[in-house]
A and B are shown apart, each in its own frame.
Chain A
């Protein structure tokens, strides 16, 4: 099978619990070796989708194919998936090595092979020296690694991580994000992460699926997701932004003219004149001063927050509108609170979204 061939194909998957629709006709195709994150707020269906892939919560409709095999109705124990659970779910009555060996033992793998695979998996997560330990004698970070080793040891077709890093403290989590990505690429694993943490999503994945109300709102590479959000929800959920409500007064070639409280703005988007929209841009697009041919707005500085490599400036643009600008550390001039300032930003980096979709 080629590297680019579809490895996991989810099509038209829906799931309801009583009256609540948790997944609504979800389609998702993942290539072999790809790292994909399902990102969204709690209740968006991301965990349910992961459980559907694992076979723990079969979908009501739709199909799931893994490694060229329809597994929609295959029970979890015959799917060959590896799951790292949020609380790790390590077996307390077994040692570290016993946990890692579990999947292979169940499969009836010969003992010599099990020993080799356990040693390899533990070495991979740098716990080779702790094989004989009891689980209760490990730190949270070590338990996380054991859970990973246990899932990897069975050489699954896909690795599934259910908020697997969320129980670690911030510093450890950030270290693990980088290390985990490197490790997964090393073993050429196909992996799906479920998280509500946008930093984790952007750091770990080749592609991010932003989920909302049981649907995938956008599936894109992290950079594209940030620069070209497909919906107001995606814009809000990943990164900071300036958002101004207005009405479309002109439309042409995928661009709209919008009247807003801060003035006329041009934005990318296809809307009929008269439509209510939200005009948005990313904070690092804003530059101090006016610029012909660019969008611009003026106001009074409300706050200035210095964050080391960058400075965030919040501007009250009047009529309830505000601008958020991010100035890099190299910027010579940084405004002070109460200064009257004007910011400009490129039309090509301005987007219009339907207003009624506002969360």
Chain B
């Protein structure tokens, strides 16, 4: 039994930690509405002028499109490859399946910086210099572990007797997979897709080594803006990205429940 004091301490710590994590975001959001170029508390009014400037930032649109393109494409490819790999690992009775699974997930444990340098050198060595393709392949390396990990976990929880049950009830094998396995694995699929999308979209340490002057992903472009002109436009952009992420999270929570994100079961 926890004593009353212990409970109070726990709550104070939890709330304090949450505030510590969330406050910077709140400050950014507040700053984005600042009417003056220099953010100053208390605010002397609210303005959307910085939001209007986002679109006029030098090279903003190409960077946004590049980031979205790479994020969506690498996520789509990761979902296909990662799911197939997870099926093979969780179900295929492959020799060394566990080792293979660990290998697939290993980029997650690697510092992004190291991964970026390694990929850069490797791509140069083999003469793979097309920026866009190199970026996509690098992001695949980054996003695949998210999909593989979540799908392996989901599949190993899946009870394959359900397929047999569906078959005896009149489903073909393919029909059973569609009617029983797909709905059971849909949450894992969705969650891993979301993780993958976010991981790619805000990746900096790997991308920085593979972009060139003409094609920069959004995070890299943003760092450049901050070096050039530190005004609240960036705060506005950050707030928009934050809002977008929140919307994605809310949708996922509605669809499957966020508690599954941590890999904790139903």
B-binding residues in A (CB < 8 A)? 54-56, 75-79, 81-83, 85, 87, 89-93, 102-103, 106-107, 136, 150, 154
Q: How many residues of B contact A (CB 8 A)?
A: 19
Is B224 an interface residue, CB under 8 A from the partner?
no
CA distance A103 to B172 in the complex (A): 12
User: Residue A83 contacts which of B159, B165, B171, B175 (CB distance < 8 angstroms)?
Assistant: B165
Q: Is the CB of B170 within 8 A of A154?
A: yes
Q: Is the CB of B167 within 8 A of A76?
A: yes
Beta-carbon nearest neighbor of B164 in chain A? A56
Is B177 an interface residue, CB under 8 A from the partner?
no
Please give, as numbers and ranges, the residues of chain B lying within 8 Å of A55 by CB-CB distance. Answer: 167-168
Q: Is the CB of A102 within 8 A of B169?
A: yes
Q: Is the interface of B mostly helix, strand, loop or mixed?
A: helix
User: What are 21 A-B contacts with C-beta separation under 8 Å?
Assistant: A55-B168, A56-B164, A56-B168, A77-B167, A77-B168, A77-B170, A77-B172, A77-B175, A87-B159, A87-B161, A89-B162, A89-B164, A91-B165, A91-B180, A93-B183, A102-B166, A103-B170, A106-B166, A106-B171, A136-B266, A154-B170
Q: Which of B77-103 contact A (CB under 8 A)?
A: none
Is B117 an interface residue, CB under 8 A from the partner?
no
Q: Is the CB of B175 within 8 A of A89?
A: no
Q: Is the CB of A89 within 8 A of B170?
A: no
Is B184 an interface residue, CB under 8 A from the partner?
yes
- Check A75/B172 contact, CB under 8 A, given A56-B167, A91-B180: yes
A-B pair number, CB within 8 angstroms: 64
Q: Is the CB of A85 within 8 A of B161?
A: yes
Q: Is the CB of B171 within 8 A of A77?
A: yes
Interface centre among A56, A85, A87, A89 (most CB of B within 10 A): A89
Beta-carbon nearest neighbor of B158 in chain A? A92
Interface centre among A75, A79, A93, A136 (most CB of B within 10 A): A93
- Check A82/B171 contact, CB under 8 A, given A87-B159, A91-B180, A93-B184: no
Please give, as numbers and ranges, the residues of chain A lying within 8 Å of B171 by CB-CB distance. Answer: 77, 106
Q: Which of B142-171 contact A (CB under 8 A)?
A: 159, 161-162, 164-171
Given A78-B170, A82-B169, A85-B161, 7 other A-B contacts at CB below 8 A?
A77-B171, A85-B165, A89-B161, A89-B162, A91-B184, A92-B184, A93-B183
CA distance A5 to B172 in the complex (A): 31
CA distance A82 to B162 in the complex (A): 14
Beta-carbon nearest neighbor of B187 in chain A? A93
